[in-house]
Structure 1
Amino acid sequence: MKRRTFVAATTSLIVAPWINRASAQQPVTINVMAYTGLFQDRYTAAVVEPFMRANPGIRVNYSPLPNSAAMIGQLRAQRAAPQVDVVILDVTVAKVGTDEGIFSRLDAAAIPEINELYPNARFPNVGGVAVTFDNLVMIYNTDAVKPPPTSLLDMATPGMRGRVAIPGLPDIQGMSLVMILDKLNGGPGVEGRFAKGIEAMAPIAPNVQTWEPRPDVYAPIINGQAAIGIGWNARAQVNADTSNGKLAALIPKEGTVFQINVINQVQGAPQAQAAQRFISYALSAPAQKAFTESMFYAPTNAKAQIAPSAIDRTAVKFLDRVVPVDWIAVAGVRDQIMDQWRRRVIPLSR
C-alpha cells in the first residue's frame, strides 16, 4: 500500500469513531405529552428531572394537556408529521390510538423493565404498557359535609342540591361512576352498555352543579363552591395535604375501580431511541417508587419498594373493594354509553 493511501486509511479508522462518539454526545430533545397541573408538577420532579440528570444527552420537553381526549386529538392532527415521542394517557384512549396506528408496540427486548411489571399492566391490543394505577374516590369539603359521606348515593340527598361536582363523560371519572352504579344495581356490565348505571344516575344528576369542574374537581370543593363529588385518589390525596384537610377522600361502600395510565411511544417518533430510553426509566423500580411516594399512584413495577406510609394511601390495601373492569371492552362501547349519557343523564341536571 502506498504511504499516502495507508495514512488516509489509518486516519479514517481513528477519526470515524471519534466523529460517531461526538455525534452521539449531541443533546437530543424528546417531547413527552402527559397531564397538566398537579400531575405535571409531581411527575417532572419525581421522574423527568432525575431522568435528565442520569441522561445528560437527552432533554425532555413536557407537553401538558388536560385530558386523554385532548391528547389523542392533537396526535391525530400530527399523524402525517409526528411532533411527540412519548405519551401518557388513559388505557381506553391508548387502545383507540393503537387501533389507529398512532402508537407503536413496545418491545421488552428494547425495554427490559416491561418484564418487571405486574401482569395487569400489559394489554394484548394496546401498544403501550401501564405506568400508573389510580382509583376512583368520593371527595368532599370537610366543613360542608358532616358527618362524612359513606355512599355514592349521598350525592343524591336533598341537602346536596346544586352542590355536587362530577366530571361527566367523556371523562372516565363519570364513566367509572356509571360502571360502579351498574354493578350495584345488578347490571350486566359492558354487554348491556351499563344501562343500569345510567339509570342509577337519575337521582344524582339533578343535584349536579357542574359536569365540567374548572380547573378540576378538587378546587371547587376546597373553596366551597361545591361540597361533594368524585375524583381520582392520587390527586385527592395531594389536595387533602395541601388544603390542610379542607378536602377529604374516601372509597365509598359501593367500591371503586382502577384507572390505568399507559405510557406509549408514538409511531414515527422523531427521537425513537431516546424515547425508548425515557420509557425504560419511567417504568423502572426507582422511578415508580419516587412517583408513588410523591403522588400516591399505585406502582405498576412489581419490584418497586414503596414506603408503607405511601402505599397505604393507594388502593392497594383496598383491593377487595375494587370492581373489576375490562377497560379494553369498555373502549369498544364508549360511543354508545356516551349517547345514553347525553340523552338520559345530562337533561336531568338542567
Structure 2
Amino acid sequence: MRATIKGKMAAMAALSAAVLALSACGGGNEAASSGSSTSGEVNLIAYSGVWQDQYTAAVIEPFKAKYPDIKINFSSKRSSAEMLSALQGQKSNPATDVAIMDNSVSTTGNKQGLFEKVDEAAVPNLANVPEKFRDKGGFGPVAMVDAVGLLYDTAAFPKAPESWDVLWDPAYAGKINVNAPPSLLGLSLTAITAKMEGEDYTKGTDKAVAKLKEMAPGVQTFAPNPDEYQNVITGQTVLGLGQNARGQFYSDQSNKKMGVTFPKEGTVYQINTVNLVKDAPHSAAAKTFINYALSPEAQSAFAKALFYAPSVTNADLPADVKDRVVPTDGSLNIIPLDVDFLSSARDKWTDTWKREIITK
C-alpha cells in the first residue's frame, strides 16, 4: 500500500513537472514572438514614387547593410490618408510594423489606438530629437521636416513670385494646379488663405472659402496627373502647390525648368513622423529600424537625397544642402498648423472643398 502511494505521488510530481515545463516552453515562445532586434523583418508603410526610391537608397539599403538579418518589406501609398485607411483595416490583426506619414494623420492614428508609444530605452536616438519635434503623448516622433511651397515655371517667372496672390491673378487663369483635400496641400492652402484673410482657421474658414471660390475658376486641375511637379515641368500649368523637398529634387531633374519658393505671407510645415504600430508583429526589429531612421547618418543621407530637413540635432549637412532644406531655426515665416485641430477638421474641410470650391 505504501509503495502504491509513493508511486502515485511520484507520478503526480512528474505530471506537475511536465506541466511546468510545458508552461515555460509556451512562455518562451510568447516572448520569442516579438522577435529579435537584429533579425527577422520589418513591414514598413510609407510614401510611393520618388520618395520611396530615394528613401530606399539613402536609408533602407544602408540599414540592411548594417543589419543584414532584418528584411524590409516596403508597402507604398500615395498619401498619408491612404496609409491611415490601410492601418485602420488591419487594426484587429496588424500586418504593418512601422508607418511614416504626415503628423496630422498620425495624430489621428494615435487617437484611434493604432500606434504604440516609444521611449529612449527602446529607441536611444530619440534623445537627439528636440522637444518641439516629439509627440507630447509619447508617440512616434518627427522623422523629417518639410514645408509647402509655391511651384512655378521659371520661363514664365524669371523671378520667383513673392506672394500667394499670384494664384488669383487672371493672367494665369487656366494655368494653375491645386491638389485638393484630403491632400495636405489643399488643407494647407486653406490655412494659408485664412491667414491672408485675417481669419483664425480653428474658429472658422468662411473668409478663406470665399477667397478660394474666387480662385477656383482659374484652376486647370484639382487632381494633378501624374503629379503637381510634372504638370509644371511639362508646361501643362505654370503655377502649383508642392512640397519644398520634392520641388528641389524635381528642379534639379528638370534642369531648373521648375522652381519652388516660399511666399511672403508665410507657409506651413509638412512634417512626417515615424510610428510604431500597436501590436506590431515584429516589434523588436521595428524599434531597431526606427532607431536607425533617427540616426544622424540616416537623417543626413535622406536630406542629401531628397532635401528633407533632419529632425535630429546631431545631423551634419553640407552647406549646399543646408541652403535648400526647410530651415527649422525660426527664420522661415511659418503659419502654425494645429495638428490636433486639423485631424478632427480634415473630413469637414474636404467636404467643404468638394461642395463649395471645386465647381467643375
* Partner secondary structure for residue 309 of structure 1: helix
Paired residue for 2:140? 128
Contact 1:133 1:258 in 2 (8 A): yes
Q: Which has the larger radius of gyration?
A: 2
Paired residue for 1:285? 296
Give the whole-Å Cα distance in 2 for the aligned partners of 1:55 and 1:318: 37
Paired residue for 1:100? 112
**TM-score, with normalisation over the residues of structure 1?**
0.88
Aligned runs of 1:71-82 on 2, under 5 Å? 71-82=83-94
Q: Which amino acid aligns with 1:241?
A: D
Aligned runs of 1:167-178 on 2, under 5 Å? 167-178=179-190
Report Cα offsets for 1:63-115 as digits up to 9, x if no partner.
11100111111111122221111110011110111111111111221111112
Contact 2:37 2:284 in 1 (8 A): no
Q: Does 1:261 align with 2:261?
A: no
Q: 2:77 aligns with which of 62, 65, 72?
A: 65
Give the whole-Å Cα distance in 2 for the aligned partners of 1:34 and 1:25: 21
Give the whole-Å Cα distance in 2 for the aligned partners of 1:205 and 1:125: 39
Q: How much has 1:147 moved relative to structure 2? A: 4.9
Q: 2:283 aligns with which of 258, 261, 272?
A: 272
Q: Does 1:296 align with 2:307?
A: yes
Give the whole-Å Cα distance in 2 for the aligned partners of 1:344 and 1:24: 52
Paired residue for 2:318? 307
Paired residue for 1:223? 234
Q: Does 1:47 align with 2:50?
A: no
Q: How much has 1:132 moved relative to structure 2? A: 0.7
Paired residue for 1:4? none
* Partner secondary structure for residue 265 of structure 1: strand
Q: Could you tell which deviates more after superposition, 322-331 or 144-153?
A: 144-153
Q: Percentage identity across aligned positions?
A: 36
Paired residue for 2:212? 201
Report Cα offsets for 1:29-51 as digits up to 9, x if no partner.
21111100111111111110000
Q: Does 1:29 align with 2:41?
A: yes
Q: Which amino acid aligns with 2:300?
A: K
Q: Which amino acid aligns with 2:311?
A: T
**TM-score, with normalisation over the residues of structure 2?**
0.86
Q: How much has 1:27 moved relative to structure 2? A: 4.7
Give the whole-Å Cα distance in 1 for the aligned partners of 2:236 and 2:271: 29
Change (3 A) 1:161 1:342: same
Q: Does 1:212 align with 2:228?
A: no
Q: Does 1:160 align with 2:172?
A: yes
Change (3 A) 1:58 1:121: same
Give the whole-Å Cα distance in 1 for the aligned partners of 2:133 and 2:102: 12
* Partner secondary structure for residue 333 of structure 1: helix
Contact 1:87 1:263 in 2 (8 A): yes
Q: Which amino acid aligns with 1:236?
A: G
Paired residue for 1:335? 347
Change (3 A) 1:89 1:26: closer
Q: How much has 1:149 moved relative to structure 2? A: 2.1
Q: How much has 1:146 moved relative to structure 2? A: 5.0
Give the whole-Å Cα distance in 2 for the aligned partners of 1:346 and 1:195: 15
Change (3 A) 1:25 1:221: closer
Give the whole-Å Cα distance in 2 for the aligned partners of 1:336 and 1:325: 16
Give the whole-Å Cα distance in 1 for the aligned partners of 2:219 and 2:71: 43
Moved over 4 A (4+): 23-27
Q: Which amino acid aligns with 1:260?
A: I
Contact 2:36 2:284 in 1 (8 A): no
Q: Which amino acid aligns with 1:150?
A: E
Q: How much has 1:265 moved relative to structure 2? A: 0.8
Q: Does 1:87 align with 2:96?
A: no
Contact 1:84 1:266 in 2 (8 A): yes
Question: Unaligned stretches of 5+ in structure 1?
Answer: 1-19
CA RMSD of aligned residues (A): 1.9
Give the whole-Å Cα distance in 2 for the aligned partners of 1:214 and 1:205: 18
Q: 1:240 aligns with which of 247, 251, 264?
A: 251
Instruction: Report how many aligned residue pairs link the two structures.
Output: 326
Paired residue for 1:9? none
Q: Which amino acid aligns with 1:138?
A: L
Q: 2:336 aligns with which of 324, 328, 333?
A: 324
* Partner secondary structure for residue 272 of structure 2: strand
Q: 2:196 aligns with which of 168, 181, 184?
A: 184
